[in-house]
Amino acid sequence: MPRPKGDHEARRRDVSEAVWRVLAAHGFGGLTMRAVAAELGASTGLLTHYFRTKRDLVAHALDLLERRTEARPRRAAGQGLAAVRAALLDILPLTDEATGSNRVWVSSWDTALADPGLRADHARRYARSRDKLCELIAEAQRLGEIAPGDPERLAAGAQAFVLGLVVQALLDAPAFPASRQIRLVDDHLAALTPDGRGANGG
């Protein structure tokens, strides 16, 4: 007797959640068919119904990471410089949930660098996020809240800054509490404003 479709989808969700728990605990370095099967309390054989190869499993994990990142709660954005600030703060590991998700992103870089196809996917993801940042910066420039200058260069600089800050905060949480991360973002933004005072009003 074939199982009803609802069962199949519920099972698929269970599998995805097991993949996420393995990622959150061990990163991509610990993502194996065996680890997911153990997390699920199932056999490795069952898992091959969902992922034929390790690469399929990794691709699913990257999709999952992207979907969870897109679905995460975000700050009320406002507009102009405030919207740029909100977009940068949304990326940082300021909460436990954002820390977990960032830990998986950082871990994904090694995986992406080892596979040209996955690397190209990642390059596209970051280019899209840079484009969004660029639009917000251009809008803040129109409002006179960010000094003139090529908004693409400012976006690339801000994105680099915030990604590196993620790395530092994850590797050295005691040295980079939320308050310090926010202060560093405000320093970065202050340097972009016409009067050097930044989004938080100085």
**What DSSP string describes 29-76?**
GG--HHHHHHHHTS-HHHHTTT-SSHHHHHHHHHHHHHHHHHTS----
Nearer Cβ to a second copy (10/113) = 113
Nearer Cβ to a second copy (87/154) = 154
Cβ 187 to a second copy, closest distance in Å?
6
Cβ 182 to a second copy, closest distance in Å?
12
Cβ 114 to a second copy, closest distance in Å?
5
| Calpha distance 6→43 (Å, rounded) | 21
Query: What is the chain's percent helix, strand, coil content, to nearest 5?
Result: 75, 0, 25
Q: Are 44 and 34 in contact (CB under 8 A)?
A: yes
Nearer Cβ to a second copy (57/165) = 165
Nearer Cβ to a second copy (29/144) = 29
State the residues that interact with a second copy by CB under 8 A.
Answer: 26-30, 103, 106-107, 109-114, 119, 122-123, 126-127, 149, 153-154, 156-157, 159-168, 170-172, 175, 180, 183-184, 187-188, 191-192
Token digits of residue 186: 């405000």
